[in-house]
Amino acid sequence: MANIIDGKAVSAQVKENIRIEAENLKKQGIEIGLAVVIVGNDPASQVYVRNKEKACEAVGFNSYKYALDENTTEQELLALIDKLNRDEKVNGILVQLPLPKHLDDKVIINNILPEKDVDAFHPVNVGKIMIGDYSFLPCTPAGVMELIKSTGTDITGKKCVVIGRSNIVGKPMAMLLLHKNGTVTICHSKTNDLPKVCSQADILVAAVGKPKIITADYIKEGAVVIDVGMDRDENGKLCGDVDFENCKDKAGYITPVPGGVGPMTIAMLMQNTLTAAKQQNGLLEGQSEKSADGKDRNMWNKLFLHT
Ligand code: BQF
């Protein structure tokens, strides 16, 4: 039986540290605010938004929820974003995805001020992630990194396989592993002999979006297996991309769904919102300088080197 990585416990620890920092900032008169915008009535999105509001409450941030009608126009949504960009009480802005079909998420995201883009989806922040200059962490990949760290696994030199090449998970995930000196392979729907590639991985990150497609034949004995999937099984029950029961005896460490990556994604969003508030209040100046090698800095140092 593999060690089961407890995402809820790790996320609780991260959030507790954030709560203490927020409490100290409050004593200096600084309150932290996150605006959450949701358009339409997608039930999964409503759950995710509620999770984000609850996390804000737990760490002592103000949350401002904007629930807009399904038929909201681009112009109306952009007007709200413009208002939030200017609102000093709002340190972070997130627009819950996916948006209804008539809205183009690229246009919307491009109009969020990069300094308030706590999802790190704006092209400016995506570019910064590529060069290893982390003002905001990509939430899900950063959560995965924290979970790997919690196992005590050193990524340097390890074979890392990421399944999935989305802009939200797969691509930034590969970057974070690369910046930690992993030897990274990105697989996708056109990859030849996926089980063979995966079964060479010391660290396997599954972000496919298909229930339980990763079985024991994809897993190297003792590997760290991280499941980013949020799928439904044949009974409509929440499950991941990894067939947990089938893989748990072969993996060295494995994340469950629920209670694995999901709670970490939310914790990292809180971390980014704290960072945004500090930056906007001029409290991160001293940390924005390069370290001697010019590579690891800011949040990166804080979160992944010596927390
Ligand atoms: C848990 C998300 C797909 C598409 C858009 C805790 C969340 C999920 C699970 C959560 C997700 C997934 C979020 C658990 C936010 C993660 O206990 O296992 C929290 O709220 N998430 C999102 O905002 O958009 C998504 C997945």
The answer, yes or no, to whether any atom of ligand 1 lies below 6 A from the CB of 199, is: no
The answer, yes or no, to whether any atom of ligand 1 lies below 6 A from the CB of 240, is: no
pLDDT band at 99 (very low <50, low <70, confident <90, very high): very high
pLDDT band at 156 (very low <50, low <70, confident <90, very high): very high
Task: Let me know whether 164 and 254 are in one domain.
Answer: yes
pLDDT band at 292 (very low <50, low <70, confident <90, very high): low
Q: Pick the more confident residue, 300 or 184.
A: 184
Task: Give the Å distance between the CA of 44 and the centre of ligand 1.
Answer: 8
Q: What kind and span of H or E run contains 227?
A: strand 224-227
Residue 57 lies in a domain: yes
- Number of Cβ within 10 Å of residue 140's Cβ equals 25
DSSP-assigned states of every residue in 233-267 = -TTS-EE-SB-HHHHTTT-SEE--SSSSHHHHHHH
pLDDT at 288: 47
Find the farthest-apart pair of alpha carbons in the chain and give their distance in angstroms, rounded.
Answer: 57
Report the atom number in ligand 1 closest to the C-alpha of 98.
5
Determine the Cα–Cα distance for residues 179 and 229; give it in Å rounded to an integer.
23
Task: Let me know whether 203 and 160 are in one domain.
Answer: yes
Task: Let me know whether 152 and 255 are in one domain.
Answer: yes
pLDDT at 110: 98
pLDDT, tens digit, 9 for 90 and up, residues 50-77? 999 999 999 999 999 999 999 999 999 9
Task: Give the Å distance between the CA of 123 and the centre of ligand 1.
Answer: 22
Q: Please name which of 25, 17, 5, 78 lies closest in space to residue 267, comparing C-alpha atoms.
A: 17
The three-state secondary structure class of 185 is strand
Q: What kind and span of H or E run contains 108?
A: helix 105-110
Classify residue 24 by burial, with Cβ atoms within 10 Å: 0-12, 13-18, 19+: exposed
The answer, yes or no, to whether any atom of ligand 1 lies below 6 A from the CB of 176, is: no
Crossing angle for the helix pair 123-130 and 170-179, to the nearest 10 degrees = 30
Residue in this structure with the two tokens 């709200």, named with its chain if needed: 80
Report the atom number in ligand 1 closest to the C-alpha of 260.
18
Residue 82: pLDDT over 60: yes
| CATH label of the domain that carries residue 103 | 3.40.50.10860
Query: Contact at 8 Å (CB) between 68 and 77?
Result: yes
Task: Give the Å distance between the CA of 232 and the centre of ligand 1.
Answer: 13
258 preceded by a cis bond (ω within 30 of 0) = yes
The answer, yes or no, to whether any atom of ligand 1 lies below 6 A from the CB of 230, is: yes
Nearest CA to ligand 1 atom 26: 230
Task: Let me know whether 101 and 209 are in one domain.
Answer: no
pLDDT band at 6 (very low <50, low <70, confident <90, very high): very high
Task: Let me know whether 152 and 86 are in one domain.
Answer: no
Global pTM reads 0.94
Q: Give the catalytic positions in this structure.
A: 52, 96, 119
Domain containing residue 155: 139-261
Average pLDDT of span 256-280? 98
Query: Contact at 8 Å (CB) between 81 and 22?
Result: no
Residue 11 lies in a domain: no
Tokens (6 digits) for 265: 């994604």
The three-state secondary structure class of 151 is coil
Determine the Cα–Cα distance for residues 181 and 165; give it in Å rounded to an integer.
19
Number of domains in the chain: 2
Task: Let me know whether 103 and 143 are in one domain.
Answer: no
pLDDT band at 112 (very low <50, low <70, confident <90, very high): very high
Contacts of 54 (CB under 8 A, 6+ apart): none
The three-state secondary structure class of 236 is coil
Tokens (6 digits) for 180: 């930690």
Amino acid letter, residue 5: I
Report the atom number in ligand 1 closest to the C-alpha of 265.
16
Residue 13 lies in a domain: no
The proportion of the chain whose per-residue pLDDT surpasses 90, expressed as a percent, equals 91
Boundary-marking domain end, from 114, 131, 161: 114
Task: Let me know whether 108 and 143 are in one domain.
Answer: no
pLDDT band at 1 (very low <50, low <70, confident <90, very high): confident
Task: Give the Å distance between the CA of 262 and the centre of ligand 1.
Answer: 5
Residue 6 lies in a domain: no
Task: Let me know whether 256 and 144 are in one domain.
Answer: yes
| CATH label of the domain that carries residue 189 | 3.40.50.720
Determine the Cα–Cα distance for residues 34 and 195; give it in Å rounded to an integer.
41
The three-state secondary structure class of 118 is coil
